[in-house]
Structure 1
């Protein structure tokens, strides 16, 4: 890992739910001590409105985020790549730290179903920060 702040990339298929919520949590908890990116192998047109609503309940606004396409450069520039159901679509580069988080997809789910996904993502983001030696703010 570089001497600079750690760079984390969250990847899921549509970059509309799980990866956006994870990026929101890491931005909130890691602040300027970590660089946050998210992308999707097949990005959606917009962020899942139920994910936006679930995050708003905890004071994190992801409404203005836009799903981005996953590029090899984004992976290459990251220290940690966290995949969430993107399968083999994520490019692999030796020397990168990869984690695969098995999480339910919030697509098509109601708010009651998305809340536990949101909370599980927070728990995993907190553990990721600890593993990177970054204090959660």
Structure 2
């Protein structure tokens, strides 16, 4: 605290990206609650996030998955069994620590960090639920 080291937040779902330029989804298994999804687009090694992470029921997620060519997930094997129609869209991927490093470094360069008085720790809070 005394050294005023900035706190840089990140969204772990932003640590995943496809190997090619395309629009894609990142999916995390929310167990019986459905899926956490983030919509994104990769173009020329840059990623633009089209949505915030949100919790979707399986039925709602199905409608969104239908619109994308690729769904990247560290839980691909579990999730694809819930979506027989879209099994071939799921791609397993582990978290890319370099992607997180790039993301947080860019936030630092752009001075998009928090000071201690305004930092809002969201760990273990419920996500925005899509209804």
TM-score of the two chains, using structure 1 as the length reference: 0.34
Larger helix percent: 1
TM-score, scaled to structure 2: 0.35
